């Protein structure tokens, strides 16, 4: 069996385009972009996903250093990175909600250095862990990989896909950093208000009672129902990705 150099180059050019889009998603998407998910694992996973997606579509042969291939090179990176950044906005909303709740609890000074988010309060760190577990628990990582595969049908390689309407959707979704944080934190902060009022009454009735030993566990219990709102926020992110890529809503 003779393998010509032209055939190898053609295969490389067709394999490169889905690899670029999938690799950009791995760099920006939650879970996949964690420092614990190291570079070698990202490259290996991107290669495996590209290998699975490759036989499902017909790929154009574009030279990445040609006049037509160079814009397409950045176009594929932009599509994959945009899909990942949409989900990062949901993660940012969770961090902002944790910061607001930590301030209400009096734990805003208790910070931890997160390698991915920077210096965040311990409540935000707790929410990041909870949100990541919820994301994996309902199969968000598999849904994200499925969407990147479906995007090659709705947003084929070689065609202009980054329309002005896409930027409008991204700008509207970026407001979810604050809106989502308010929707998550407001019920908890309202509960904390009543808990603080109750703790004030208890302190007046029994001054010798250690208010910190009693108050902090009661305040932390007020966050027990936040998991459903985290899942809702993730699903809103998936809906935005479906709107951007034109994929059918599940």
- Give 67-120 pLDDT, tens digit per residue: 777 888 888 888 888 888 888 888 888 888 888 877 777 666 656 555 566 667
pLDDT band at 213 (very low <50, low <70, confident <90, very high): low
Please write the tens of the pLDDT for every residue from 218-238: 566 656 677 788 888 889 889
- Summarised one tens digit per residue, pLDDT across range 43-64 is 888 888 888 888 887 887 777 7
- Least confident range from 10-19, 83-92, 149-158, 200-209: namely 200-209
- Report the C-alpha gap between 220 and 197 in whole angstroms: 15
pLDDT of residue 220: 63
Alpha-helical (H) ranges within the chain are 5-28, 39-53, 69-105, 122-137, 140-154, 164-174, 176-205, 211-221, 226-245
In contact, 141 and 59? CB cutoff 8 Å: no
Please state, in angstroms and rounded to a whole number, the distance separating the CA atoms of residues 176 and 168. 14
Strand partners, 5: none
Among candidates 127, 121, 116, which has minimal Cα distance to 94?
127
Q: What is the largest CA-CA distance in the chain?
A: 90
pLDDT tens-digit map of 3-26: 566 666 777 778 888 888 898 988
- Provide φ and ψ at 54, rounded to 5°: -55, -45
- pLDDT category of residue 189 using cuts at 50, 70 and 90: confident
Distances, alpha carbon 104 to alpha carbons 112, 121, 141, 204, 213, in Å: 18, 12, 33, 21, 17
Between 29-33, 171-175, 204-208, the lowest mean confidence (pLDDT) is in 204-208
């Amino acid at each position: 069996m003779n393998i010509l150099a032209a055939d190898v180059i053609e295969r490389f050019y067709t394999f490169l385009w889905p690899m670029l889009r999938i690799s950009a998603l791995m760099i920006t998407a939650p879970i996949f972009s964690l420092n614990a998910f190291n570079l070698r694992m990202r490259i290996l996973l991107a290669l495996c996903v590209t290998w699975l997606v490759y036989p499902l579509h017909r790929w154009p042969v574009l030279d990445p250093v040609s006049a037509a291939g160079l814009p397409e090179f950045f176009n594929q990176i932009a599509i994959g990175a945009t899909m990942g950044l949409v989900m990062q906005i949901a993660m940012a909303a969770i961090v902002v909600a944790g910061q607001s709740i930590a301030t209400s609890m009096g734990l805003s000074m208790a910070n931890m250095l997160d390698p991915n988010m920077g210096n965040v309060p311990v409540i935000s760190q707790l929410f990041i862990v909870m949100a990541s577990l919820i994301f994996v628990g309902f199969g968000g990582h598999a849904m994200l990989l499925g969407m990147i595969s479906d995007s090659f049908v709705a947003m084929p390689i070689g065609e202009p896909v980054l329309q002005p309407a896409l930027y409008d959707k991204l700008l509207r979704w970026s407001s979810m950093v604050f809106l989502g944080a308010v929707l998550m934190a407001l019920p908890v902060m309202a509960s904390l208000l009543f808990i603080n009022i109750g703790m004030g009454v208890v302190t007046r009735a029994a001054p010798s009672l250690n208010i910190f030993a009693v108050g902090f566990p009661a305040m932390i219990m007020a966050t027990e129902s936040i998991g459903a709102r985290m899942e809702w926020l993730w699903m809103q992110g998936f809906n935005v990705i479906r709107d951007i890529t034109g994929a059918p809503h599940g």
